[in-house]
């Protein structure tokens, strides 16, 4: 999957009246929507579905960390390891995932997919599923990255995405 394919898939779930529900969705990447039977999803379920993977996995890193679930805490933990599905992003490009774990002043963690990067190499828009988006009628929306401008946010890259070798290397910074 390319970053453009990832973003197109993620955008295909927007404006579908998705309801935010922590722990819901993302179980069936083969389905047309990331939601459960009640049209509910959360951020990590949405990101996993967009990546074409189930949020429940038998990957040993995840089994040992939290029983096989890909959530924001597990994504952050994975980025610190050398054997997982994610690695720290070395540049900010469309397709990079912004994520912060729960704790450290955050009640719950959050993640989303960068869809547009500005001239300064910083994300301009991110598509994500959140309860905050629900106030505007749909939990899945493409917004400015305001919610990710917080301590602890990291940029990660899914190993299953094709990345252009021609991109300049830039150290991501947030907060």
Domain ranges in the chain are 3-158
Residues 44-91 have pLDDT tens digits of: 999 999 999 999 999 999 999 999 999 999 999 999 998 899 999 989
Looking at every residue in the chain, the average pLDDT score rounds to 91
Strand, helix or coil for residue 109: coil
- Would you list the DSSP string of 113-138? EEEEE-TTSSEEEEEEE-HHHHTTT-
Residues 109-154 have pLDDT tens digits of: 999 999 999 988 899 999 999 999 988 789 999 999 999 998 899 9
Determine the Cα–Cα distance for residues 63 and 148; give it in Å rounded to an integer: 27
If you search the block for the tokens 């096989």, which residue do you land on?
A: 68
pLDDT at res. 52: 97
- Using CB atoms within 10 Å of the CB of residue 17, give its burial: 0 to 12 exposed, 13 to 18 middle, 19+ buried: exposed
Residues 12-42 have pLDDT tens digits of: 999 999 999 999 999 999 999 999 999 999 9
């Amino acid at each position: 999957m390319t970053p453009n394919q990832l973003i197109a898939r993620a955008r295909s779930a927007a404006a579908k009246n998705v309801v935010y529900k922590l722990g819901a969705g993302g179980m069936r990447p083969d389905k047309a929507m990331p939601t459960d039977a009640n049209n509910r999803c959360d951020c990590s379920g949405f990101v996993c579905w967009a990546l074409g993977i189930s949020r429940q996995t038998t990957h040993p890193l995840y089994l040992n960390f939290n029983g096989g679930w890909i959530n924001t805490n597990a994504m952050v933990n994975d980025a610190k390891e050398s054997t997982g599905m994610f690695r720290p992003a070395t540049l900010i490009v469309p397709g990079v995932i912004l994520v912060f774990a729960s704790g450290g002043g955050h009640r719950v963690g959050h993640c989303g997919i960068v869809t547009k990067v500005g001239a300064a190499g910083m994300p301009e828009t991110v598509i994500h599923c959140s309860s905050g988006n629900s106030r505007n009628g749909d939990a899945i929306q493409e917004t400015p990255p305001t919610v990710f401008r917080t301590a602890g946010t990291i940029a990660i890259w899914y190993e299953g995405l094709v990345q252009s070798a021609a991109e300049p290397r830039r150290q991501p910074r947030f907060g």
